[in-house]
Amino acid sequence: MVSGQSSGPQGPYPGYGPVYQPMHKPTIEYVKPFASDLILAIGVVLGLFLLWLGTLISGWTTGDGDKIGATFFGLGMFFVTAVLFLGALLRTDMEKALRVILVVVAAALIIVVGYWHMF
């Protein structure tokens, strides 16, 4: 018998039994490593760095520098809120209250600060 085939019930053609297929993991099991604590922390820190950099650029420059600073600020805000939302959606091993807090904080950042507040 060929490796990977089971000796289950035979079909109408002897020797051609059903091929064994291992159980597949749910898709969330493949995505969870991308939402580890370290990756979430790196994403938030990167977003906060871009927020800080955008604020510095906007404060120290005039003319087109304001738009560049606003772009960095908006990108940083996107990073922070995206990481918070994805962390809340993908990390099912966290407590429900913590996941709700992540969503509320991300929504509050969008409502209060906004993405493009400098335009």
pLDDT at 37 over 80: yes
The tens digit of pLDDT for each residue in 61-96 reads: 888 888 888 889 889 999 999 999 998 988 888 899
Q: Token pair of 80, please? A: 């922070």
- Amino acid letter at 109? L
For residue 85, the model assigns a pLDDT of 93
Q: Distance between CA 12 and CA 102 in Å, rounded?
A: 57
For residue 96, the model assigns a pLDDT of 93
Assess contact for 35 and 87: CB atoms under 8 A.
yes
Q: What is the mean pLDDT of residues 20-34?
A: 77
